Structure 1
Amino acid sequence: MSSTSLPIPPALFPPVNLSSTIGTGYWGLIVASVLLGCTMLQVYFYFRNNKDGWGLKSLVITLCAASALDTLSWAFFAYVYYYYLVKNFGNDLVLLNIPWPFGAEVFVEVVAAYLSQLFFAWQIYGFNKKSWPISAVIATFATVAFGSGIAVGVYSVQDVAVNSIGSKTTSVVTDINKGFATACDIVCQVLSYASDEFNLNPPFTRTNSMITLLIIYIVNRGVLLTLVQGTDLLLFVCAPNQDTWVPFHMCLSKVYVNTLLAMLNARSTILKNDFSSISLGETQSSSNYSSEQRPTFTSHIPTIETTLSRKVYPFTKDSKESFHGQSGVFQILAVSSGTEHEPQKIGLRSKGVPPTTKPIICPFFGEMNSTSVPLLFPPLDLSTSVGPSYWALLIISIFLGCTELQTYFYFRNYNDGWPLKSLVAFMCTADNLGWAFLVQAYYSILVKNFGNPLAILTIPMGFAASDYVTMCIELAAQLFFASQVYGVHRQGSWPAYATIIVFAIASFGVAILSTGSPSAASVASRKVQILNDINVATSLICDAVAAGAMCFYLTVSRTNVARTNSVISSLILYVVNRGILLAVVQGANLILYIYSPSKDYWIPVHMLVGKIYTNTLLAMLNARSTLRDKMNDRLALTELQKSARGRRPFNSDRSSTMFTPAGSQETMGKRHSLRGPSDDWQDIPRFVDIKSGGATEEELEGPAFAV
């Protein structure tokens, strides 16, 4: 952290603990960022893996629009807390007003919710034309919620005072919005479930099983949404002036979008379970039923408020003094010592300006007159210091969402050996732990020590702990990649293997030496600069050597088999993309730190390093299923061509098909077993069984992230 000049002595900056007010919204924003990362990755999986027909075009359009509006809503919330905690660090009076993004976020959320609810009503009607009363009820509730939500947005724009949220007018309209939105969701789930049960009686056991599985998805989604939505409504009705409902409100729309995407992406899992005829949203017709069923997502009124009741102990003894502030000369007219039950009140006014008769009640300064200038204690604008790290914290939270989802996909789809599973579990756990340390560190600085400039002059323990965790993640990823280089080409690959290990251990050791000083000024010291430069440089060289060696040995392992070459080309592409991404991040980290170590511009890039290592490793491991599908399609096409020519096709049993090495029957026209002798057997990578995706004995000698 960089040091910040203090306009007046630190004693005049009594810190304010905002844990019970802004703190709840801070945690809600962090969790919403994680869910946003899951949303982005699920959207990518949807467009990559699903080839829906024209029947789902409207769903795709609604999905894209809702995801964009959901991201925009998150951006508004992120700016609001940036405005509160970073740009006005220490300005207690800024909490009395609602920034403009609150009102804008209201309109965005209401429009997204209204469109999604109408879309679900239309889907129910398309599923069964006789269910038009259900669609009418849903549309009516959605319209009432939309209208009341627009009214709340108008009130938020017109009245920027934070007390307006708890006013009777705004509170009643907000209760109507949340109540009808909750009722709409309950009607959607309950009546759509009843429609499935009583209107679908297919004559086939397999179809019944598929419908039962879909009903389970709908029920699980409905229960989750009802819990989140009901908690949001209950907390707001009971205590609208408290901030306990804010985290649930922030995460609500993310839950809607993610549950919808999860149901759409689950179709591939259903297909793998022998339900080859099911397609969510495009169900095959039968004599008794034919329709579409698609879930939807909803978000609700996004107003947020900050209550200002908290215990503050500004000063302990009377004083009368003058000093120069940012807006002129001010004088403390009277200071009465405060107690635990009655905080002191401070009368303030600008010199030469008479006080007014209408006081302003400030939770920190006590009773103030309207001519008092709010900046008695000039706040610190941390936009150039803590600001970049604040945005980086939200970005790594998004990356953490991607990590969580990729880890879930890995353990669900692959049956690798315990060493590889242990590595993935370790990296995921360490990634979560490092993220938690950073979140707690910024919570301590921005929320628990709001307005305390001394808090940014000392590096919190969470930063050092996060650095140690990142070192372990980086070392584990580099050692794993070194083992893969050695496994691809054992003959002659040991120099590259040894080089990667040496640079990885050297980078880890130097990083340990450069971490540990709690002072922010120590970051810019000459010794720490040299150690950090060596650390990043050795890590960059290690990644470059690993990527270059892997590409080289994969290239020399090419054969005359088109399918094998296609897999190798895909692996080379993954390795190159990973290497470029790591080189860009590590290079930017090194350049920014060398250019200005005393500034905080390098910290956001440094915070991303561990997330990049974890996500690139998981992406390569999870890419095996995509490569298998690609190879299966190529194999099926080859066999079809051979059959059309009257030739005897190659063994097409997909349950036991393996990628054969050079010298196999496809190359030489001979039938060798998979373990049969071959002159160039040691020069190619081994692969994994297509059906199980698990490790075989042959894979123990090849790259674990191969197909």
Structure 2
Amino acid sequence: MTSSFPSDGNVASAYAEIWGPVYWGFCATLVLCGVSTLQGYHYFTRYNDKQFIRFLAGFILLLDFVSMALICQSAYYYMIPHYGSLAPLNAVTGELSAECLISAIITFISQMYFVYQLQIVGSQTRVASLMSFTTGLLGVVSLAGGIGCAAVMFIHPQSIFMDRNRSFIILAGINKAFGAGADVVATIAMCMFLKSADTGISGTSSLLRSLMHLVINRGLLVTFGQTLMFILFFTSTARLYWVAVHINTTKLYVNTFFAMLNARTSGQDAYSPHFSVGGFSSGRAETVVQRESSQEIEKFSELNSHNFGLDAIKVTTTSTVIEM
């Protein structure tokens, strides 16, 4: 598939038309990287989760920093030393190729963590297992497409921006399409399980609705990024709009990952009239809720890997036990 960039006539105008969207996308990436840094600081200074979760969060944050450094280097290469020249369009930089690989890894980690949460919330039911398997399968295929894209970019750097390599087109389509599919399935599944966990008790129902809104917003953001990237990649072959969206989609996954981890504090504060939080012991918080009708509910929050925004919740009534 061939795309023709304007190279004759007003070169300066053509240069601005091509790289303008990438520049503004780069500015947005800087802002999102700052937000993810702040969220990472907030998480590591306020929560003492299991080492596995802390390691995972630190690894994603590290990858985000490396990704940002590679994007900065690529932006410098195309816009500073070669300012006003369209020659660099003949090849993609090795830094941008490496960033593509890192993007696929971050997306995969975020999606697989969501799969893990599906298993926790779904309580190992057949439907939960099916949903988790589907999300995991779509995520693995998306990761394979992303790795393939990076490999093609390294092997055929001259066939990415202009005369696109056919393999690159196919693999990029697989990466984005299956990635969006995984996010859609995961979001629907999580909302289904949260809905089924509603006991009808006002405090619990409000908490679950808050969690559902958080999950839906996360799903909408990342799915929108993947879908927009997919559309622009195939419709704007003579422009680099897709590059601007690509470098920001990665940041959306990082920010939504930390947003769900950090939502625990806001969630507890929001429902403080309903929940009275007791002391902490060995990393566990026990919450006791008294309802006006004298029905007692015990809510145990465990600050470990069993959270998907708020703490893992175990709600016990006289007739129902729900584990999240």
Q: Is the 8 A contact 1:201 1:289 kept in 2?
A: no
Q: Deviations over 1:200-236 (max 9, x none)?
A: 1436432222111111111222222222222112111
Q: Among residues 174, 187, 207, which one is paired with 2:204 in the alignment?
A: 207
Within 5 A, what are the aligned runs for 1:114-153?
114-127=108-121, 128-130=123-125, 131-153=128-150
Structure 2 letter corresponding to 1:144: V
Q: Deviations over 1:156-186 (max 9, x none)?
A: 0001114566333211221111100000010
Q: In structure 2, the residue corresponding to 1:19 is in which secondary structure?
A: helix
Q: Is the 8 A contact 1:124 1:192 kept in 2?
A: yes
TM-score, normalized by length of structure 1?
Answer: 0.37
Does residue 245 (structure 1) correspond to residue 275 (structure 2)? The answer is no
Alpha-carbon shift at residue 281 of structure 1 (Å): 3.8
Q: Is the 8 A contact 1:121 1:135 kept in 2?
A: yes
Alpha-carbon shift at residue 102 of structure 1 (Å): 1.8
Q: Among residues 158, 176, 179, which one is paired with 1:178 in the alignment?
A: 176
Alpha-carbon shift at residue 28 of structure 1 (Å): 0.7
- Structure 1 Cα separation of the partners of residues 52 and 322 of structure 2: 18
Does residue 262 (structure 1) correspond to residue 259 (structure 2)? The answer is yes
Q: Is the 8 A contact 1:232 1:245 kept in 2?
A: yes
Structure 2 letter corresponding to 1:126: I
Aligned residue number for residue 169 of structure 1: 167
Alpha-carbon shift at residue 126 of structure 1 (Å): 2.3
Q: Is the 8 A contact 1:165 1:241 kept in 2?
A: no
Does residue 234 (structure 1) correspond to residue 218 (structure 2)? The answer is no
Q: Is the 8 A contact 1:165 1:240 kept in 2?
A: no
Alpha-carbon shift at residue 240 of structure 1 (Å): 3.7
Q: Higher helix proportion, which one?
A: 2
Does residue 69 (structure 1) correspond to residue 63 (structure 2)? The answer is yes
- Structure 2 Cα separation of the partners of residues 165 and 180 of structure 1: 25
- Structure 2 Cα separation of the partners of residues 270 and 116 of structure 1: 21
Does residue 22 (structure 1) correspond to residue 19 (structure 2)? The answer is yes
Q: Deviations over 1:650-692 (max 9, x none)?
A: xxxxxxxxxxxxxxxxxxxxxxxxxxxxxxxxxxxxxxxxxxx
Structure 1 gaps, min length 5: 1-13, 293-707
- Structure 2 Cα separation of the partners of residues 173 and 272 of structure 1: 45
Structure 1 letter corresponding to 2:124: K
Structure 2 gaps, min length 5: 1-9, 278-286, 288-298, 302-309
Alpha-carbon shift at residue 266 of structure 1 (Å): 2.8
Aligned residue number for residue 189 of structure 2: 191
- Structure whose alpha-carbon radius of gyration is higher: 1
Q: Is the 8 A contact 1:186 1:222 kept in 2?
A: yes
Alpha-carbon shift at residue 24 of structure 1 (Å): 1.2
Structure 2 letter corresponding to 1:183: G
Structure 1 letter corresponding to 2:174: I
Aligned residue number for residue 110 of structure 1: 104
Q: In structure 1, the residue corresponding to 2:21 is in which secondary structure?
A: helix
Q: Deviations over 1:361-409 (max 9, x none)?
A: xxxxxxxxxxxxxxxxxxxxxxxxxxxxxxxxxxxxxxxxxxxxxxxxx
Alpha-carbon shift at residue 49 of structure 1 (Å): 2.4
Does residue 155 (structure 1) correspond to residue 185 (structure 2)? The answer is no
- Structure 2 Cα separation of the partners of residues 29 and 166 of structure 1: 23
Aligned residue number for residue 282 of structure 1: 312
Structure 1 letter corresponding to 2:168: T
Q: Is the 8 A contact 2:106 2:253 kept in 1?
A: no
Structure 2 letter corresponding to 1:122: Y
RMSD: 2.2
Distance 1:270 1:115, change over 3 A: closer
Aligned residue number for residue 338 of structure 1: none
Distance 1:251 1:265, change over 3 A: same
TM-score, normalized by length of structure 2?
Answer: 0.78
Structure 2 letter corresponding to 1:100: G
Q: Is the 8 A contact 1:20 1:243 kept in 2?
A: no
- Structure 1 Cα separation of the partners of residues 259 and 124 of structure 2: 27
Q: In structure 1, the residue corresponding to 2:17 is in which secondary structure?
A: coil
Q: Among residues 220, 225, 231, which one is paired with 1:223 in the alignment?
A: 220
Q: In structure 2, the residue corresponding to 1:20 is in which secondary structure?
A: helix
Structure 2 letter corresponding to 1:189: T
Alpha-carbon shift at residue 91 of structure 1 (Å): 4.5
- Structure 2 Cα separation of the partners of residues 230 and 247 of structure 1: 14
Aligned residue number for residue 397 of structure 1: none
Q: Is the 8 A contact 2:198 2:204 kept in 1?
A: no
Q: What is the number of equivalent residue pairs in this alignment?
A: 275
- Structure 2 Cα separation of the partners of residues 112 and 91 of structure 1: 33
- Structure 1 Cα separation of the partners of residues 163 and 183 of structure 2: 25
Distance 1:201 1:15, change over 3 A: closer
Structure 2 letter corresponding to 1:99: T
- Structure 1 Cα separation of the partners of residues 112 and 163 of structure 2: 28
Q: Is the 8 A contact 1:67 1:257 kept in 2?
A: yes
The structure whose RCO (Cα within 8 Å, separation 6+) is larger is: 2
Aligned residue number for residue 385 of structure 1: none
Distance 1:123 1:203, change over 3 A: same
Q: Higher strand proportion, which one?
A: 2
Aligned residue number for residue 3 of structure 2: none
Distance 1:271 1:115, change over 3 A: closer
Q: In structure 2, the residue corresponding to 1:166 is in which secondary structure?
A: coil
- Structure 1 Cα separation of the partners of residues 267 and 97 of structure 2: 42
Alpha-carbon shift at residue 241 of structure 1 (Å): 4.1
Within 5 A, what are the aligned runs for 1:505-516?
none
Alpha-carbon shift at residue 90 of structure 1 (Å): 4.6
Q: Is the 8 A contact 2:106 2:254 kept in 1?
A: no
- Structure 2 Cα separation of the partners of residues 247 and 86 of structure 1: 18
Aligned residue number for residue 42 of structure 1: 39
